[in-house]
Chain A
Amino acid sequence: MLIALGRRLLSMLVTLFGVAVIIFLVLRMLPGNALTASLGVSTGLLSHAQLVALDHYYGVGQPVLSQFGSWLGSVLTGNLGVSLSSRTSVASLVGSALPVTLELAIGSMVIGVLIGVLFGVFGALRPGRVVDNLGQGVAVVGLGVPSFIIGTGLVTFLASTFHYFPSSQGFASLFRDPWLNLQQIFFPALTLGLGVAAALLRTTRAAMLEVIGLNYARTARGKGLARRQVVWKHLFLGALVPVLTMSGIQLGYLLGGTVVVEQIFVLPGLGRLLVTAINNRDFPVVQSVTLIFASGFVVVNMLTDVAYTLIDPRTRS
């Protein structure tokens, strides 16, 4: 098992290196550079001497390979560089944005898992009944309606009807103001969580329907176990592997999904940082944030694989 884990770690590192190369090259293949992104058409107003001085500052004239080497070397030593736009350290920008995004992603997963698993399990136990139909409705909304529409609708409805838009008053961390923080996180987490719930609900329901008819389930019921024990200890545990796979995939996607939701709900997370940095051609910030998103995805996938081995003894071999 340790060898398998080592191989997985190695492939994770190779993947991350590939991501770093691709992001680095794609950014530099786009038209324009940090100077034109920063100054816009005002770049044309600069004298030759000014352009030379600023090209040097922004590193515009340096060979791509040397830029990549210098960036990768810095990243490996924990130095993410300095934002070209705000001239502050990228590590400090990421350090303030990452917790917001993690909190949002975890909150969304909690909501998504609660709604998805509960509706999936109970819907499968009584197919075609009220709970199942309600769950199917949630799934249709979660899968069919984009998060930016759900988010914008929620913000507009709450503000115009209840004069309530807690995240517009500046983000409050959980440690500074837990009450306000939870209000600020709940609605964006709900918006993202609906999408997660939809996918999990369908997966859970299908997996449960599959195991309900199996012999071991009939045996569990036949030997007189309590209904709760049959459902959660036997049926759900048997259906857990596909649910776990889907959860891992959804958590990975969630990190990317925060980009839109953070914009709508005014959350100062990594997604918003990334959008601003892309607009400003702030290469050090874009590279670092993208690498963090990619690392999140890869690490979650690896943890999902590890979880399989804990849940399903057959995979240990």
Chain B
Amino acid sequence: MARQKDAGASGRHRRRWAGGGAVLVVGAGLVSLGAVPVGAGASVRPQVSRPHAAGGTFVVADTSSVQKLDPDVVTNFLDFQVLGQIYDQLVQYNSKLQIVPDLATSWKYSNANKVLTFQLRKGVRFDDGSTFTSANVVASLKRAVNPKTGDASASFLANVKKIVPEGPYAVKFLLSQPDTSVLNGLTSVNLSMLSMKAMANGTVGKKPDGTGPFVFAGWSPGNSFSMVRNTHYWGGKVTLPAVKIETIPTEQSIASALEANTVQLGLLTQPQVANHLPSSVKVRKILDLSYRALMLQDKTGPLANVNNRRAIACAVDRKQVLGDAVFGQGKVVGPVPLGPFASNPVSAICATPDLSKAKSYLQKAGDPGGFSFTAITSTDLDPSSAAQATVVQAQLARVGIKMNIQNLAGNAYIQDWLKGQFQAAFAYNGADPSPYTMYGRYFGKGANLGVPAGYSSASLQKLLLSGDTAASTANQAKIWTAFGNDLTSNAVWIWLFSAFDYYATAPGVRGFTPSPTNSTSLSALRSTTMG
């Protein structure tokens, strides 16, 4: 699925422009009307931050804004990042993308992997003061699968027949079939643990109430989101007293705010901005848990011929695409970009470009002179897609394949993509350490996104099912390698690259190391300090 994105100096180092006051000769004459941020209700308090002093508010800047407060329905990347600091899930990913405890302390499969039992953490309190128990697990996940909620991650629980409490601190998931990827699904913010009071009062989408390291403090839609530290956090002391997520609509303005020391952490995606920050600003780059691919529809036309698709796979120079699209700031990847089952090599055929092989595939396809097709892009959804398409177009032309490019507005692209009304599409898709979680929705039996995936095969479905039900990691690794080889040898899609995300911290900020998943990328805030 395409990723929704539509990412200090201490006070004593701060220099203010002495001439700033001069401008007020004119400014003082302005007729001014005060603006008061308005939020979601009485709980929302307007806040104004200042260039920080030690112990003050830590400001995080992003071009996006927090759009929704209900963790079950968020799809925006920043919403995941921010609500991930207020809510906890049963399990989470660590920095090596392994599943580790969160509100569940341990878990165990039994009954031929058809029962999954979680032991729950004791002494955890919601922000409203209530205690976390198995009742919260049952009610939270029941809410998630309720159609009226509209939780896009409800499909992760498709194999969960029933959730049964086993006393206050244990819960049993009864599965319709063995399913290891349910654990990966449970890391999602969309499946957060909610307070009974909030659910009963219908305030989940109005006033976040979780068990995470931070407590909701205020929201000005489109502008800012504030939280303060949770003094009762079960995971230990939270260092930052207050965090404010400030929306700064352009990355160049975020860079300026970092230089002006009004922002302590800037979330950036553009290498041309991140690489030109002054040396006093520390930039950490981390591979984005998503990937770019050229999705191909195999139903009709020249792309229905596997050898034509293979010719494309061999003619494309992924490294050059990475270089031209994002200045080489990323990594060429295969179907599984990161995690324990990452694809290596990135493709079973032509991991590096091979034009003579591409031409021989065209011969086999019966199209020795090449063929033509159209690929859609949307610079609204992925600004680098135009550059990717232009490079690929030139590369394919070397073997006689003519690729036409059609750039669409974001919503038009989504519409066509969902209906599978394209021959090829440059896509910016979300990834997951679990190959089943990533591809079950595209290539599994009855997959929700089977239409845009544009390809289905019994062998892929079988591999997905066996990978999801395999008991040992070694077995899983073998199956997922075979799965990746099946995808790439049939050139189902052409996987291109994953790009870096940039986390720029102002001088004086210590202890911030970003994590690679969306819900945990800001988790280091709990142990961050600023000078």
Determine whether the beta carbon of B418 is less than 8 Å from that of A170.
Answer: no
Q: Using known A-B contacts A39-B152, A40-B2, A186-B27, determine if residue A165 contacts B257 with beta carbons closer than 8 Å.
A: yes
Q: Which residue of A lies closest to B31 (CB)?
A: A106
Chain B positions 182 through 220: 1 when the CB is less than 8 Å from some CB of chain A, otherwise 0: 000000000000000000000001100000000000001
Residues of B within 8 A of A114 (CB): 26
Q: Using known A-B contacts A44-B449, A268-B220, determine if residue A87 contacts B259 with beta carbons closer than 8 Å.
A: no
Residues of B within 8 A of A36 (CB): 411, 414-415, 418
Chain A positions 37 through 61: 1 when the CB is less than 8 Å from some CB of chain B, otherwise 0: 1111111111101101110010000
Complex: A48 Cα to B420 Cα, angstroms = 18
Residues of B within 8 A of A186 (CB): 23-24, 26-27
Determine whether the beta carbon of A86 is less than 8 Å from that of B75.
Answer: no
Interface segment, B98-106, B241-249, B467-475? B241-249
B192 CB → nearest A CB, Å: 17
Residues of A within 8 A of B152 (CB): 39, 42-43, 45-46
Q: Which residue of A lies closest to B448 (CB)?
A: A45
Q: Which residue of B lies closest to A85 (CB)?
A: B67
Within 8 A of A (CB), among B132-177: 147-155
Instruction: Select which of B33, B40, B223 is within 8 A of A103 by beta carbon.
Output: B33
Instruction: Select which of A32, A41, A83, A111 is within 8 A of B221 by beta carbon.
Output: A83
Interface segment, B11-19, B332-340, B516-524? B11-19
Residues of B within 8 A of A31 (CB): 409, 411-412, 415
Q: Using known A-B contacts A85-B68, A110-B26, A264-B253, determine if residue A41 contacts B418 with beta carbons closer than 8 Å.
A: yes
B518 CB → nearest A CB, Å: 13
Asked if B370 is at the interface (CB within 8 A of a chain A CB), the reply is no
Q: Which residue of A lies closest to B26 (CB)?
A: A111
Complex: A165 Cα to B250 Cα, angstroms = 14
Determine whether the beta carbon of B448 is less than 8 Å from that of A44.
Answer: yes
Instruction: Select which of A95, A97, A179, A263 is within 8 A of B250 by beta carbon.
Output: A263
Asked if A166 is at the interface (CB within 8 A of a chain B CB), the reply is yes
Complex: A240 Cα to B290 Cα, angstroms = 60
Residues of A within 8 A of B489 (CB): none
Determine whether the beta carbon of B48 is less than 8 Å from that of A159.
Answer: no
Determine whether the beta carbon of A96 is less than 8 Å from that of B37.
Answer: yes
Determine whether the beta carbon of B32 is less than 8 Å from that of A174.
Answer: yes
Asked if A160 is at the interface (CB within 8 A of a chain B CB), the reply is yes
Determine whether the beta carbon of B2 is less than 8 Å from that of A41.
Answer: yes
Interface segment, A18-26, A132-140, A274-282? A274-282
Q: Using known A-B contacts A42-B1, A47-B147, determine if residue A88 contacts B24 with beta carbons closer than 8 Å.
A: no
Interface segment, B87-95, B260-268, B347-355, B359-367? B260-268
Determine whether the beta carbon of A168 is less than 8 Å from that of B17.
Answer: no
Q: Which residue of B lies closest to A262 (CB)?
A: B249
Determine whether the beta carbon of A88 is less than 8 Å from that of B39.
Answer: yes
Q: Using known A-B contacts A83-B221, A263-B250, determine if residue A171 contacts B411 with beta carbons closer than 8 Å.
A: no
Asked if A100 is at the interface (CB within 8 A of a chain B CB), the reply is yes
Q: Using known A-B contacts A39-B75, A156-B252, A158-B17, determine if residue A45 contacts B33 with beta carbons closer than 8 Å.
A: no
Residues of A within 8 A of B6 (CB): 279
Within 8 A of B (CB), among A136-154: 152
Residues of B within 8 A of A100 (CB): 35
Asked if A272 is at the interface (CB within 8 A of a chain B CB), the reply is yes
Residues of A within 8 A of B33 (CB): 99, 102-103, 173-174
How many residues of chain B are within 8 Å of chain A by beta carbon? 86
Instruction: Select which of A182, A268, A273 is within 8 A of B27 by beta carbon.
Output: A182
Complex: A187 Cα to B26 Cα, angstroms = 11
Asked if B49 is at the interface (CB within 8 A of a chain A CB), the reply is yes
Asked if B50 is at the interface (CB within 8 A of a chain A CB), the reply is yes
Determine whether the beta carbon of B34 is less than 8 Å from that of A170.
Answer: no
Chain A positions 171 through 191: 1 when the CB is less than 8 Å from some CB of chain B, otherwise 0: 111111111111101110110
Asked if A107 is at the interface (CB within 8 A of a chain B CB), the reply is yes
Asked if B47 is at the interface (CB within 8 A of a chain A CB), the reply is yes
Residues of A within 8 A of B206 (CB): 87
Determine whether the beta carbon of B49 is less than 8 Å from that of A164.
Answer: no
Asked if B51 is at the interface (CB within 8 A of a chain A CB), the reply is yes
Residues of A within 8 A of B409 (CB): 30-31
Asked if B29 is at the interface (CB within 8 A of a chain A CB), the reply is yes
Complex: A166 Cα to B381 Cα, angstroms = 30
Asked if A93 is at the interface (CB within 8 A of a chain B CB), the reply is yes
Complex: A156 Cα to B255 Cα, angstroms = 8
Within 8 A of A (CB), among B348-391: 381
In the complex, 21 of the A-B residue pairs with CB atoms within 8 angstroms, ordered by the A residue number, are A31-B412, A32-B412, A36-B411, A37-B410, A39-B75, A42-B75, A43-B152, A44-B418, A53-B148, A57-B150, A95-B38, A110-B29, A158-B17, A165-B262, A169-B263, A171-B223, A182-B28, A187-B23, A264-B253, A268-B220, A275-B249
Residues of A within 8 A of B (CB): 30-33, 36-47, 49-50, 52-54, 57, 83, 85-88, 92-93, 95-97, 99-100, 102-103, 106-107, 110-111, 114, 152, 155-156, 158-160, 162-166, 168-183, 185-187, 189-190, 263-266, 268-269, 272-273, 275-276, 279-281
19 new A-B contacts, CB < 8 A, other than A39-B150, A103-B33, A163-B15, are A41-B417, A44-B1, A45-B448, A49-B147, A50-B150, A50-B151, A86-B40, A106-B31, A107-B30, A110-B30, A163-B17, A163-B260, A164-B260, A169-B262, A170-B49, A170-B223, A182-B23, A272-B249, A275-B249
